[in-house]
Amino acid sequence: MKRLISILAALSLCLCLAVPAAAADAGSAGLKFKPDGTFKIIQVSDTQEFFFSSTITQEFLCDLARREKPDLFVLTGDNIRAADAKQYSPFFAKLFVRASVDNLMRAFDRIHREFGIPVTMVYGNHDNECGPDIVTRAEQFAMYKKHRSFIGYYIEEADKGTEDDQGQHYGTHNIIIKNSAGTAPAFNLWMFDSGAWDPRGGYSCVQQPQIDWFEATNAALNLPSLAFQHIIVRDVLNLVPGNTLPPGTQGEIRKSPGPSRYNEGQYAALCGAGNVLAVFSGHDHTNTFVLRRPGTDTDIVNSPGTGFGSYGDVDLRGVRVITLKESDLHTYETDTLHYMTYYGAGGLRQSRLEMYQARSTSATFLDWLSFAPLLWLLGLFRIPNL
């Protein structure tokens, strides 16, 4: 089996080399509100796939682009499951990490080609888990940068001085959205690398150098904003005692939130800024709540896992949709879209979801042999042109 995967990886490398590089430079994303005064973001979290990107995930993302017409996709970490590469030699391990990134990003390249919708991302705790001796966060970021759909960029001072057991945090940045006329900045998006594993134990978190960069940059921009990262802020534990959501809270909680054991003060800084409406995270897969905070405080939002490469409940796998309105930049609307409700429960769709749920590592192969042909005959399946 390892030999077969190694051969497939070599073939994948050939395909990777054929992908043209066209990444955006800092400040050139060109995002702006639509003529109707809206801007829509789709948050995709915890795809956690290794080497192959599941057909069902590719199809879902393409359908979302076609139907929902977002202006931006944001990947909030654990985009790939790099730990699986550890069982191979360093050469093939690096190859598999690259193939995993490229196979995921080809879906977004197709979306960008057909609809002009870009994507940016932050890292999670599993993205670089093969170890920095095989692939550093900087090297993996370069793999994203060569894709034409990717608009993330590197800011040296944003992550300088950070450190956890996978090395320096990397890829913290911000993206400005202009008004619908395209004449002036109107809104800002913060992308934080919340790290991986703290050497003292447990998960990492956004660290002081990143907070210092945020405060200085935010003071200069002075724009209403949203923040995105993988690991939820530790302050959430004060708001969900006993894993019980406050009355009237949108969403649900099915497991204990998994923040860092340590708190460097990020959430206090976001709240203190007075213009960060919410911080969105993934990481916990089966929690989908929106903790609304009064006054100028920052909402804490947790979003469901999207991919089938790790644990999750079949009825909750999906994405979060966030809508901004130019007429009121100090509010936002958000909801989740799940595979189950998006395609309708029952029949072949339901069985297909349950097959992916139960057999994540072999589901793509089984899909091509079983459900995909049947769904194609019924006109319910289109092979992604990736």
Question: What would the 3-class secondary structure string for 160-181 be?
Answer: CCCCECCECCCCCEEEEEECCC
CB 322 within 8 A of CB 280: yes
Judge whether residue 212 has pLDDT over 80.
yes
Q: Spell out the SS3 assignment of 258-284.
A: CCCCCCCCHHHHHHHHCCEEEEEECCC
What's the DSSP call for residue 375? Answer: H
CA 86 vs CA 52, 53, 137, 195, 277: distances in Å: 16, 19, 16, 19, 39
The two beta strands, 318-325 and 299-302, are: unpaired
Average pLDDT over residues 64-79: 97
CA 110 vs CA 74, 104, 375: distances in Å: 16, 11, 22
The verdict on residue 115 lying in a domain is yes
Q: What is the CATH number of the domain that holds 323?
A: 3.60.21.10
Handedness of CA 20, 73, 44, 221 (dihedral sign): positive
Distance, CA of 71 to CA of 238 (rounded, Å): 34
Note the pLDDT of residue 378: 72
Which residue, chain included where needed, has tokens 């998994």? 258
DSSP assignment of 201-265 equals: SSB----HHHHHHHHHHHHHH---EEEE-SSPPGGGGGTSGGG-PPTT-BS---S-----S---S
| pLDDT band per the 50, 70, 90 thresholds, residue 129 | confident
pLDDT in tens, 240-297: 988 999 998 989 999 999 999 999 999 999 999 999 999 999 999 999 999 987 776 8
Q: For the chain, how big is the Rg over CA atoms in Å? A: 20
Residue 146, token pair as written in the block: 């060569």
The verdict on residue 373 lying in a domain is no
Distance, CA of 89 to CA of 207 (rounded, Å): 33
Distance, CA of 375 to CA of 367 (rounded, Å): 10
CB 134 within 8 A of CB 94: yes
DSSP assignment of 25-83 equals: PTT----B--TTSEEEEEEE----B-SSPPHHHHHHHHHHHHHH--SEEEEES--B-GG
CA 226 vs CA 104, 123, 157, 223, 248: distances in Å: 25, 17, 20, 10, 22
| pLDDT band per the 50, 70, 90 thresholds, residue 56 | confident
The verdict on residue 277 lying in a domain is yes
Note the pLDDT of residue 283: 97
CB 299 within 8 A of CB 271: no
- Angle at CA 305, nearest 5°, toward 145 and 253? 140
Domain that residue 243 falls in:
18-348
Judge whether residue 53 has pLDDT over 80.
no
Strand ranges across the sheet with 328-338: 119-122, 72-76, 38-44, 318-325, 328-338
The verdict on residue 132 lying in a domain is yes
pLDDT in tens, 151-201: 999 999 999 999 999 899 999 999 999 999 999 999 999 999 999 999 999
CB 201 within 8 A of CB 261: yes
Judge whether residue 356 has pLDDT over 90.
no
| pLDDT band per the 50, 70, 90 thresholds, residue 380 | low
Which of the two residues, 317 and 18, has the higher pLDDT score? 317
Judge whether residue 93 has pLDDT over 80.
yes
State the pTM of this model: 0.90
Structural domain total, the chain: 1
The verdict on residue 354 lying in a domain is no
The verdict on residue 362 lying in a domain is no
Note the pLDDT of residue 25: 40
CB 311 within 8 A of CB 304: no
Alpha helix locations (H) across 76-193? 90-115, 137-145, 156-159
Residue 344, token pair as written in the block: 């309708």
Handedness of CA 104, 18, 23, 168 (dihedral sign): positive
DSSP assignment of 5-26 equals: HHHHHHHHHHHHHTSPP-PPPT
The verdict on residue 215 lying in a domain is yes
The verdict on residue 11 lying in a domain is no
